[in-house]
Amino acid sequence: MSLVTNSPQFITPSIKRRLICMIYEALLVFGVIFFSSFIFDVVTQSKHALKLREAREAFLFVVIGCYFVFFWRRSGQTLAMQTWRIKVVDLDGQRLPLIKAIVRYCFAWGWCLPGLVVAHQLGLKETASLIPVGVGFTLWALTAYFERNMQFLHDRLAKTKLIELPAVTKNSN
């Protein structure tokens, strides 16, 4: 049984709300990356950021993936998503199975990976590389306008959706 995405139970959060949540999420993930990189450097005795670069990137990909998959599987919400009352569910409104959470994480790299590939192919360095990444990010965000329920492309591909949770009201007695 499939539930209607925009029923009172399943309202799609606005694009603005989701993007602001992503900014908050990026700050939290920065902390995860910082701590994980420190652990990586201690374990590998790396004294230079470019030493073992590919191994570090693979390690961070897995660590960040574990962060998201853990929270999406546990409650459907990371800390940022809890703050903004956004939850990820499958198309039936249920908790994500492990494979769907992993697939969603991999597809979510579509936000920045195409831009990074273009920057690499064009040999862009430092600040100039932000241009194709920014363009790719913007184009990915615009994919929501081509989807009936305003979900982003990675959610459509992973067969998941983001829903807005109702505000918690305090009863004054």
pLDDT for residue 2: 42
Give the Cα-Cα-Cα angle 83, 148, 4 (nearest 5 degrees). Answer: 70
pLDDT for residue 10: 78
Locate tokens 């109702």: which residue?
Answer: 166
Burial 22-47 (b: 16+ CB within 10 A, else e): beebeeebeeeeeebbeebbeeeebe
Its pTM stands at 0.86
For the chain, what is the mean pLDDT? 91
Q: How many CB atoms lie within 10 A of CB 53?
A: 11
Tens place of pLDDT per residue across the chain (173 aa): 344 444 446 799 999 999 999 999 999 999 999 999 999 999 999 877 677 889 999 999 999 999 999 999 999 999 999 999 999 999 999 999 999 999 999 999 999 999 999 999 999 988 999 999 999 999 999 999 998 889 999 999 999 999 999 987 776 55
For 139, what's the count of Cα atoms within 13 Å in the CB-facing half-sphere?
11
pLDDT for residue 151: 95
pLDDT for residue 75: 96
Per-residue tokens: 51: 């030493």
pLDDT for residue 121: 95
- Residue 169: helix, strand or coil by DSSP? coil
